[in-house]
Structure 1
Amino acid sequence: MNTLTKPETARLLDRLFTAADREEADPAPWPLDIPYAEATARQRADALAGEYMPISRAGGRLLYALARNGRPETIVEFGTSYAISTLHLAAAVADNGTGHVWTTELSDVKVKAARANLEQAGLAEHVTILPGDAFETLAEVPGPIGLLLLDGWKELCLPVLRLLEDRLAPGALVVADDITFASMADYLAYVRDPAHGYVSVAFPVEDGMEISCRP
C-alpha cells in the first residue's frame, strides 16, 4: 500500500476530485466586470478563490510516479489551489522517506483550504506553502530543485521557469499542466527549442502535460 491508497488519503482525493468535476460541469460565470485577460493575477486569485482548477486524476498519479522514481530532495510547485496536486507530490515524498515540497498560492482562501487538506491527509509536515506572489516567495526556495510543477496562471509558467532555471538540478524534471491552453504557447515553444537545453515530450493526460528534462 502506498500513501495514495490509504483510506484517509483516497477518500479526501475522491471528495476533492468529485467537487472539481461538479464545478467543471456547471461553471460559475466570470464574476468581475473586466475581462479575464485584463485582470491581474491578484484579481483572478480573489475572484476564483472558490474554484478548484485541479490536475486530472491521471495527472496526479503521473506526478506521484515521477516523484517516486526520481526521489527529488526538493520539489517546487507553482500554484497549489486546493492542494490536489500537492497531495500527490507530498504522498510521494512521504513514501520515499526523503524530500520536501515547496508550493505557492496567491489566494488567502486557498492557502487555508490547502493547509487543511494536507493536515487531513497527514501530509502537512512534507509541504511548505508560500502565500503571496510566487515571484517573491520563491526566492526562499533552496536548490537544487529536482522536480518543478508549473500549474499556476498559464501566462506566468514561462517566467516562473526562467526564475528558477539556475536552481534546477542536473536531470531535473519540469512538468507543466494544461498545455492545450492557448496561453501555454510561449512556454511550449521555449522548452521544445533544443537551444534552451531541454528534452521535452507531451504526455496525453486530460488537457495535456509537458514533461521536460534538463540533462
Structure 2
Amino acid sequence: MTSPLHDPVLEKLLDRLHAQSDEQAGEMSAFLAEQRRESGQDRSQRGFDDNLRQFLGDKLVALDRDKATFCYQLCRALGARRVVEAGTSHGVSTLYLAAAVRDNGHDDGVVIATEYEPAKAGIARANFEEAGLARWIELREGDLRETLVDCGGPVDFLLVDIWHVALDALELVTPALRPDAAIITDNTISAAKGYQPYFEFLNDPANKLRTMTLPFAGGLEFTVRVD
C-alpha cells in the first residue's frame, strides 16, 4: 500500500516500528491462547490482570498499519486540530495522528496522548523526537482516568486503543467532542464481550453518537458525534 504521508523520515521510522510489532504478534497470540486455555476466558472477559500487564510491558501493541493510515486520512478530512489518543504504547499510532495535525497546517494543533507505563512513555517520546513530531504531541503519563479529565478545548478526533479502560476514556472525552467529531475504536469484534458497556454508551441516544463497525481485522468502530 502506498503511504499517504510523503515524509521519508517518518515512513522509515514507521517501517521499523511496524516490523517490530509484527515480530511480536506471534508471541502475543501464543500468550493469549495459553491464557484462554488456562482460564476458559478470552482476554476481554479475563480483564487486565498482573500477568497480562507484565507480558505487555515491553510490547509495542501497535495499531495495524492500515488502521493507522485510515486514522491519518480521517484526521486530514476532518481538518483535525485537537486529537486525543487513549493508549499510546510506543507511539506508533500517535505519529500518524501528529502527522495529520501537522499536515493540516495547524502549528498550534496537538495530539493528547496517554500512557500508563513509564518505560513505554520514554520510548514513545524518543520516537516522537526522531520523527520530528514532538512539538505536536502532549504525552500525558499516568492513569487516563486522571490525565484526560481536561482536554483543553474542543476535540476533533478520539482514538481508543486500550480496551480495558475504553469506557472511561469515552465518558471523559465525549463532552469535549465538537459536533461531527469522530471516534475510532480498535478490535470491537475480536474483544466484543469486553466492549459491551462501551457499546451501551455509544448507542444511548442521550450521548449523541452514531456508530458502525468497519470490516478491518478484529473490527474497527467508526463513531460520529451528532447534534
Fold match, TM over 0.5? yes
Partner Cα distance (2:187, 2:200) in 1: 15
- Write the letter of the residue equivalent to 2:91: A
Partner Cα distance (2:31, 2:219) in 1: 24
CA, structure 1 residues 206+39, in 2 after alignment: closer, same or farther (shift >3 Å)? closer
* Residue in 2 that maps onto 1:8: 9
Range with greater deviation from structure 2 (193-202 or 17-26) = 193-202
Of the candidates 63, 69, 83, which is equivalent to residue 75 of structure 1?
83
Instruction: Say whether the 8 Å CA contact 1:143–1:167 is kept in structure 2.
Output: yes
Partner Cα distance (2:96, 2:160) in 1: 14
Instruction: Say whether the 8 Å CA contact 2:151–2:176 is kept in structure 1.
Output: no
Range with greater deviation from structure 2 (104-113 or 184-193) = 184-193
CA, structure 1 residues 189+38, in 2 after alignment: closer, same or farther (shift >3 Å)? closer
Q: Give runs of aligned pairs for residues 51-62 of structure 1, distance below 5 A.
A: 51-62=59-70
Write the deviation string for residues 110-155 of structure 1: whole angstroms up to 9, x where unpaired. 1001011111111011000000011111124212111111112x13
Query: 1:29 offset after TM fit, Å?
Result: 4.1
Range with greater deviation from structure 2 (73-82 or 203-212) = 203-212
Of the candidates 209, 217, 222, which is equivalent to residue 206 of structure 1?
217
Instruction: Say whether the 8 Å CA contact 2:160–2:186 is kept in structure 1.
Output: yes
Of the candidates 175, 183, 191, which is equivalent to residue 166 of structure 1?
175
Of the candidates 95, 105, 108, which is equivalent to residue 118 of structure 2?
108
* Residue in 2 that maps onto 1:149: 159
Range with greater deviation from structure 2 (128-137 or 205-214) = 205-214
- Write the letter of the residue equivalent to 1:177: D
Instruction: Provide the aligned C-alpha RMSD in A.
Output: 2.5
Instruction: Say whether the 8 Å CA contact 1:148–1:173 is kept in structure 2.
Output: yes
CA, structure 1 residues 142+88, in 2 after alignment: closer, same or farther (shift >3 Å)? same
Scaled by the length of structure 2, what TM-score is found? 0.84
Number of aligned positions between the proteins = 212
2:129 counterpart SS class: helix
Scaled by the length of structure 1, what TM-score is found? 0.88
Partner Cα distance (2:209, 2:4) in 1: 31
Range with greater deviation from structure 2 (43-52 or 112-121) = 43-52
Identity of aligned residues (%): 33
Query: 1:206 offset after TM fit, Å?
Result: 2.1
Query: 1:55 offset after TM fit, Å?
Result: 1.0
Write the deviation string for residues 66-118 of structure 1: whole angstroms up to 9, x where unpaired. 11011122100101011111010011011111121001000011100101111
Instruction: Say whether the 8 Å CA contact 1:65–1:92 is kept in structure 2.
Output: yes
Partner Cα distance (2:51, 2:177) in 1: 30
The question of 1:89 aligning with 2:97 is answered yes
Runs of 5+ unmatched residues, structure 2: none
